[in-house]
Amino acid sequence: MPYSSTLSLSHSDRKSLDPRDFQIVFLASFLLYGIIALDWAVEWDKYVVLLVTAVVVQLGFEKAFAKSKSSWKSAVITALGLSLLLKSGELWVLALAITLAIASKFLLRMDGKHVFNPGNFGIVAVLLLTGEAWVSPGQWGSGIMLLLFFGSAAAMVLLRVGRIDTCLTFLITYGVLEYIRTILYLGWTHDVFFHKMCNGSFLLFTFFMITDPVTTPNAPKARILWAVTIGGLAFFLSNWMYISTAPIWALIIVAPLTAVLDRKFKHQLFQWNR
């Protein structure tokens, strides 16, 4: 086969790849990194419960709503996200979290898209309902290497789905406000600032939760407004309400604003298979 034909074929193959494939690989790699490099307790039973429940519930809802069985990858991504962020000593709590997360995609919809990020909804739901779940921001530690590790992996996905603007806007908004308060107002060292900005849970949220292309606003201008609002609210909740998981709560509060922005700023609806 001529070189030019080979090049054309490989380019076509690359375009056909689903960005969710990359996301599954990266999130699974982060989980292995936590187990191997950070000495996390190996909780295979919890990971299996999350993954199996996610796929079963996803397929069940797709059958009930007569939808094509094509979104199991999104269910796996949600399960991996909860494996990385949500903690509980009870398997039923994890099963409830992933069930509510997947169910929210089908039951809480507006203008052709689900209102809440599924993982975000599942986490907040069990935090509020059970008293048996928590998010542990400190399990990842912090450091520039985490930023490079997560950021380089996320860039491959975000550039393909066109949501790098959401990630950068949120990161810049929160970072500028945090810098003004930490460095300029309180006079603390830069080490304190970088410790806050390079926390693993914060980076996971920034690169893989707030950037969900299905639940972010469709138009670029709307996404910027949306991300600025979440960044400002997360900063307030973190520094004045002393909530360690502030970005997660900020996202659940601001999520319904997506529908308003989509109606104000008309733009093409995102679809994974486009």
Tens-digit pLDDT profile for residues 2-29: 333 333 334 444 445 678 888 888 889 8
**Cα 79 from Cα 60, distance rounded (Å):** 16
Q: Structural domain tally of the chain? A: 2
Would 178 be classed as within a structural domain? Answer: yes
- So what's the pLDDT on residue 149? 66
pLDDT band at 136 (very low <50, low <70, confident <90, very high): confident
* Residues 49 and 117 placed together within one structural domain of the fold: yes
Domain enclosing residue 70, as ranges: 18-135
Both 175 and 128 in one domain: the answer is: no
The answer on 42 and 130 residing in a single domain is: yes
Q: Would residue 11 count as lying in a domain?
A: no
Among candidate residues 135, 162, 182, the one where a domain is terminated:
135
pTM: 0.88
End residue of a domain, out of 119, 135, 151? 135
Does any domain span residue 6? no
Same domain, 78 and 183: no
Q: Is residue 98 part of a domain?
A: yes
52 and 121: one domain?
yes
**Could you tell me which residues come within 8 angstroms of residue 237 by beta carbon, excluding any fewer than 6 positions away?**
243, 246, 249, 250
Does 194 lie in the same domain as 126?
Answer: no
Q: What is the pLDDT of residues 163-207, one digit of tens each?
A: 788 988 999 999 999 999 999 999 999 999 988 888 888 888 988
